[in-house]
Amino acid sequence: MINKYGKYFLFLIVLFLLPIVVLSGNSKTEIAIDNLNTAKSLQAMHIVNKYEAIKENEKVEEIPVFNTFQEAMKSASTMPVAFMGKLTAYGPDCKGCGGGSACPPRQNFKNGNIYFNDQTYGKIRVVAADRSLPCGSIVRMTGISIYSEPVIAVVMDRGGAVKGAHLDLLFTSQKNLEGFKTSNNIKFEILRYGW
């Protein structure tokens, strides 16, 4: 016979071991974990495949480089074009800046968010451009001294001094431009013209 303390002891053993036995033998839990891992793997593969497809498209296309910004803009709405120009940098706290994007969707830059999540290109930088280059245009910039790789950005902002072949790259603050210096002879490739 089990005394009253033995019953409590047996009850405690069952209480602690039951969830372990149930969870270890629960195929639904194992299936859920497997499905979650499979979903994550499929999502990662989709992202890699999408990136590779974009890279392949970029390699195939020979983007013509125009002599002037005006010439490039004449053809930009019908095909990818490139031009050479000047790149400067700014922060949302610069003199005369409002801290938000001039283009919809109106994004707040004061919170340090200098990126935009584009449906096609993913997480990319923000750049201010001349009004003749529409909001939502995607620009690949090559030759920036502080970056070893080209930077892809979306036109989300405007600026009073940003005219023609001059673009302005957004940084977290005017005081933190990551050592950026005004760069001339930057190659700007318009990969998408507007939204």
Cα dist. 21→8, 9, 31, 168 in Å?
Answer: 20, 18, 16, 61
* pLDDT tens digit sequence for 61-112: 689 999 999 999 999 999 999 999 999 999 999 988 999 999 999 999 999 9
Assigned architecture for domain 65-192? Beta Barrel (2.40)
Instruction: Identify the pLDDT of residue 29.
Output: 47
Of the candidates 108, 173, 185, the one whose C-alpha atom is nearest the C-alpha of residue 145 is 185
Give me the residue spans of the domains in the chain: 4-60, 65-192
Interval 158-178: pLDDT, tens? 988 999 999 999 999 999 999
Q: What is the DSSP string of the chain?
A: ---HHHHHHHHHHHHHHHHHHHHHT-HHHHHHHHHHHHHHHHHHHHHHHHHHHHHHHHHH--PPEESSHHHHHHHHTTS-EEEEEEEEEE-TTSTT--SB-SSSS--B-TTS--EEEETTTEEEEEEE--TTS-TT-EEEEE--TT-SS-EEEEEEE--TT--SSEEEEE-SBTTB-TT---EEEEEEEEEE---
